[in-house]
Amino acid sequence: MTRGEYEDIEKKIADGYRLSVYLEPNPEIESLKKANDPYIEAYSLPHICVQNGQVWGATRSTHAIIEPGKGYSPGLGFAYSLTFPLYCIFFANNGKDAIDNTGFKIKLLSARQYRILEPRLHAPGEKVWSSDAPDDTDSLAASIHRGKAHRAVFRDQNGILRSHPLDLTFLFETGNRVELHLEHAFLPPPFVDPTEFEVRLRKLIPNFDTATAAPTFAAQTDAAPFSSYRKFGSDGTGQTYSEILTGQYSHYQSISVFADP
């Protein structure tokens, strides 16, 4: 991805664009074959982070694995890098593992397993609220009345641009007070800090660029996950799970809410 392409994606994500990925598997990769019949697929990537030339998007961890004779495994999720030829697999129950200090394991695979892996950007719906104009709530009220789903886009304290679906959107009568709750998800380590994750990978994987470009590349690592949950108020303050427990608050830059089209 060129610098110009990155800047275009960053601007569009900041403007509320949604992200998905289009995939055509490499027919030579045995693990991706399905009854020897070529196929195409696409995933919505509702969780997005953007920083310093890096873009990661993740699915929800709701993909069921049901194997004859083996039973059901907990849902898994996929996260795709739009910067490096990498994607990773993570499991829904890994969040509890992380809380219990038993590690959050992810499997890294080469995106070269796919003949085509391309991002798709989708135009946003209406921007209905911003912490830059917190008292302007008419559009948000109308959107809630229409039963619309929403997503929040913001920059955190480290300047990382984040976009996540909202689970709960409240507009209170008294003082036009807004309260937003992001959809909860435990996401893989790139979402904590994409730049630091790259540094770690380059130390972990010899000849990183050459190694990850090979379709057979696979590695496993563990690190603290990113908890997407935030509770935002009208004043631009927010709380993570741990901050709610301790009564602390953090300040966020320009929280924007977009209605789904």
Amino acid at 244: I
Number of domains in the chain: 2
34 and 158: one domain? no
37 and 139: one domain? no
Pick from 164, 179, 170, 181: nearest CA to 141: 170
- 152 pLDDT band (50/70/90 cuts)? very high
Please name the helix (run of DSSP H) or strand (run of DSSP E) that holds residue 183, with its range, or none. Answer: none
Residue-range definition of the domain harbouring residue 243: 127-184+228-259
Look up the pTM and report it.
Answer: 0.92
97 and 222: one domain? yes
SS3 of 203, please?
helix
222 and 235: one domain? no
- Asked if the model's pLDDT at residue 205 lies above 70, the reply is yes
Extract the runs of DSSP E, i.e. beta strands, from 156-249.
161-171, 178-182, 186-187, 218-222, 226-227, 231-233, 237-239
β-bridge partners, 107: 89, 220
Please name the helix (run of DSSP H) or strand (run of DSSP E) that holds residue 143, with its range, or none. Answer: helix 138-145
pLDDT attached to residue 238: 95
pLDDT tens for 10-23 read 999 999 999 999 99
| pLDDT > 90: percent of the chain | 64
pLDDT attached to residue 38: 84
Q: What is the mean pLDDT of the chain?
A: 89
Q: What is the DSSP letter of 54?
A: E
- 79 pLDDT band (50/70/90 cuts)? very high
pLDDT attached to residue 145: 97
180 and 194: one domain? no
26 and 70: one domain? yes
- Asked if the model's pLDDT at residue 97 lies above 70, the reply is no
Decide if 45 contacts 63 (C-beta within 8 A). Answer: no
210 and 239: one domain? no
Rg (CA), the chain: 19
158 and 60: one domain? no
47 and 58: one domain? yes
pLDDT tens for 40-64 read 999 999 999 999 889 999 999 888 7
101 and 39: one domain? yes
156 and 199: one domain? no
Secondary-structure percent of the chain, ordered helix, strand, coil, rounded to 5 = 25, 40, 35
232 and 109: one domain? no
pLDDT tens for 100-147 read 555 577 899 999 999 999 999 999 999 999 999 999 999 999 999 999
For residues 151 and 99, give the distance between their C-alpha atoms in angstroms, rounded to a whole number: 26
SS3 of 72, please?
strand
- Asked if the model's pLDDT at residue 98 lies above 70, the reply is no
